[in-house]
């Protein structure tokens, strides 16, 4: 639950997981954006998929953030996908605050979790709050900075941290089966772990750790307060010909996500633009370097998951939605008065390739448009073989295939099946020698295709074929990633 909004006069909860397939499976399959205010600050929250099959969407979303909240299950600890996402954060030097969730259920000892974070992620850790008991014995969470205690029902507790410090030495509390171990662990953590250092956190070397229960809204206020006080302002954005200074008065932004059919009845298509500098105002004309022309932004929006409102003004760090019909794609830059291009937004080579079979041949045109739209969102990659007329789709993980099939049928009304294409993986190819490149294409047409950008792609039947082809053609580069253009 992200909070409450008013709709048609009624209060209702808004979930960040708004797609039907997300609600059925209980997982996030696409990043969603929520803008809200808290204690005078504007938060732009990007909820990213945690599943490994959607890591490409998550990676692109991380190019648009300045700080990260890493959520860890109190019972499971650091899971494999959490570790992968952390590695991406480390590559981009994104500061991380850790939230240990579900302390109202049976879980591991807080000291054990802190040790795991420190050892597995090679980060200094400092507790920002501490749980009193776990599971059925959960009594609340203590903020180690303010001394405030929050009870399991979210109400403030009558006991302060200073009182707890006095109790630690008393036999009455030491013998208590809940307070005794909790206060002893809290005391050990405060004495042995380093104090919080703002610079170390912002450089990505230290992570403050907060404990709580998101479902019961316990510990969330402590987390939000920490983000508001410690998270950095918008940072310089990598770009060509020079990094974008967030303090620059010139408006610059880049599209990191495109989402279609958030409102199926309207068949809408929204490009999410992260503003990197300047003050944007509704109705502005911005340069689109890829198309070489100006576009007028007449109906920008702020989002609260699926809900939206008109954005009259936005500044660096804000994320706005721009309705469009194919003008904007992931990786596009919009700028006010310069030919700037934001860099660092990648495409990953797919690890699963399938052939699309139409149930109704009369819908071939609709299929092409639907696949192109979904490819622009980043749901899939689309290829046209040099020999043959079939559409091929490529994804990073198998769950993406389920999402693709579901959205083709539910949103695009194009019933289609996905079947084996005889290929396992793909690589973009390039060479500094044009003649060698043409020779390679002539010799391998049966295994070549073009992507949406008409770039040549080599389709490998298995890893051995890919390795053998690379050895046979040393002057050809086989690229696993490429920058979106």
* CA atoms 184, 185, 187, 191: torsion sign: positive
At residue 13, does pLDDT exceed 70? Answer: no
Instruction: Name residue, tokens 């899939």.
Output: 380
The answer on 464 and 322 residing in a single domain is no
Per-residue confidence (pLDDT) for residue 4, from 0 to 100: 41
Residues 161, 225, single domain; the answer is yes
Q: Does residue 48 register a pLDDT over 60? A: yes
H helices, E strands: number in the chain: 13, 33
* pLDDT at 391 > cutoff 60: yes
Mean pLDDT confidence for 194-217: 93
More confident residue, 346 or 468: 468
| Distances 131 to 26, 127, 152, 177, 224 between C-alpha atoms, Å | 27, 10, 10, 14, 17
| Whether 212 and 268 share a structural domain | no
| Domain match, 468 and 360 both | yes
Question: Is the model's pLDDT at 94 over the cut of 50?
Answer: yes
Which of the listed residues 178, 203, 230 is the one where a domain comes to its end? 230
Residue 470 inside a domain? The answer is yes
**Could you tell me the two tokens for 40?**
């005078």
Contacts of 400 (CB under 8 A, 6+ apart): 53, 54, 352, 379, 380
Nearest to 351 by CA among 459, 257, 441: 459
CATH number of 314's domain: 3.40.50.300
Residues 354 and 464 in one domain: yes
196 and 131 part of one domain: yes
Q: Which residue range(s) make up the domain with 202?
A: 67-230
Residue 296 corresponds to which tokens in the numbers above? 């007028």
- The per-residue pLDDT for 220 is 93
- For tokens 């003050």, name the residue: 279
Task: Kindly state whether residue 243 falls inside one of the protein's structural domains.
Answer: yes
pLDDT of residue 11: 36
| 17 occurs within a structural domain | no
> Which CATH number characterizes residue 462's domain?
3.30.70.3280
If one counts the domains in the chain, the total is 3
Radius of gyration of the chain (CA): 25
Nearest alpha-carbon partner for 246 in 231, 256, 235, 238? 235
21 located within any domain: no
In a domain, 254, yes or no: yes
Instruction: Kindly state whether residues 74 and 198 are assigned to the same domain.
Output: yes
In a domain, 11, yes or no: no
Tokens 């929050």: give the residue.
150
75 and 221 part of one domain:
yes
User: 245 near 316, Cβ under 8 Å?
Assistant: no
Residue pLDDT, tens place only, 105-164:
999 999 999 999 999 988 999 999 999 999 999 999 999 888 888 889 888 876 777 776
Residues 338, 296: one domain?
A: yes
Is 0.85 surpassed by the pTM of this model?
no
Q: Is residue 267 located within the same domain as residue 354?
A: no
| Alpha carbon distance 317, 42 (integer Å) | 10
Mean pLDDT for 418-423 is: 90
pLDDT score recorded for residue 471: 95
Rounded average pLDDT over 436-442: 95
Quote the pLDDT of residue 5. 39
Among 230, 262, 288, identify where a domain stops. Answer: 230
Q: Are residues 210 and 79 in the same domain?
A: yes
Is residue 241 reached through a cis peptide bond, with omega within 30 degrees of 0 on the bond before it? Answer: yes
| Domain annotation covers residue 89 | yes
Residues 308, 358 within the same domain: no
For the chain, the average pLDDT equals: 84
Select from 230, 253, 268 the last residue of a domain. 230
- pLDDT tens per residue, range 288-306: 998 889 999 998 988 765 5
Any domain includes 32: no
């Amino acid at each position: 639950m992200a909070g409450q909004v008013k709709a048609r006069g009624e209060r209702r909860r808004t979930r960040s997981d708004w797609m039907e397939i997300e609600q059925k499976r209980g997982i996030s399959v696409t990043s969603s954006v929520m803008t809200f205010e808290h204690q005078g600050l504007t938060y732009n929250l990007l909820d990213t998929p945690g599943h490994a099959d959607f890591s490409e969407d998550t990676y692109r979303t991380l190019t648009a953030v300045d700080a990260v909240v890493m959520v860890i299950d109190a019972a499971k600890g650091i899971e494999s996908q959490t570790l992968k996402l952390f590695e991406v954060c480390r590559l981009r030097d994104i500061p991380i605050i850790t939230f240990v969730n579900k302390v109202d259920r049976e879980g591991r000892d807080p000291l054990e979790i802190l040790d795991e974070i420190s050892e597995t992620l090679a980060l200094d850790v400092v507790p920002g709050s501490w749980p009193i008991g776990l599971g059925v014995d959960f009594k609340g969470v203590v903020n180690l900075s303010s001394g405030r205690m929050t009870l399991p029902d979210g109400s403030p507790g009558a006991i302060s941290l200073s009182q707890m410090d006095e109790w630690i030495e008393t036999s009455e509390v030491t013998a208590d089966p809940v307070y005794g171990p909790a206060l002893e662990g809290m005391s050990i953590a405060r004495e042995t772990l380093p104090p919080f250092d703002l610079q170390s956190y912002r450089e990505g070397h230290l992570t403050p750790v907060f404990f709580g229960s998101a479902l019961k809204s316990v510990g969330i206020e402590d987390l939000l307060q920490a983000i508001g006080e410690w998270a950095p302002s918008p940072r310089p954005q990598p770009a060509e010909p020079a990094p974008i200074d967030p303090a620059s008065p010139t408006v610059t932004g880049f599209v990191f996500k495109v989402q279609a059919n958030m409102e199926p009845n309207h068949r809408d298509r929204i490009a999410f633009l992260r503003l990197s500098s300047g003050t944007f105002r509704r109705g502005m004309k911005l340069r689109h370097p890829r198309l070489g022309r100006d576009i007028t932004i007449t109906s920008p929006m702020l989002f609260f998951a699926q809900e939206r409102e008109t954005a009259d003004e936005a500044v660096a760090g804000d994320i706005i939605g721009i309705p469009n019909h194919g003008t904007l794609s992931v990786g596009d830059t919009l700028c006010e008065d310069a030919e700037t291009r934001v860099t660092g937004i990648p495409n990953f080579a797919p690890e699963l390739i399938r052939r699309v079979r139409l149930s109704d041949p009369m819908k071939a045109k609709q299929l092409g448009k639907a696949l192109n739209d979904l490819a622009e969102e980043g749901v899939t990659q689309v290829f046209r073989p040099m020999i043959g007329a079939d559409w091929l789709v490529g994804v990073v993980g198998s769950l993406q295939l389920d999402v693709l099939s579901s959205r083709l049928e539910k949103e695009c009304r194009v019933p289609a099946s996905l079947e084996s294409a005889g290929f396992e993986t793909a690589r973009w190819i390039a060479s500094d020698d044009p003649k060698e490149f043409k020779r390679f294409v002539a010799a391998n047409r049966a295994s070549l295709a073009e992507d949406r950008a008409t770039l040549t792609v080599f389709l490998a039947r298995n890893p051995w074929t890919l390795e053998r082809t690379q050895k046979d053609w040393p002057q050809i580069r086989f690229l696993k990633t490429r920058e979106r253009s």
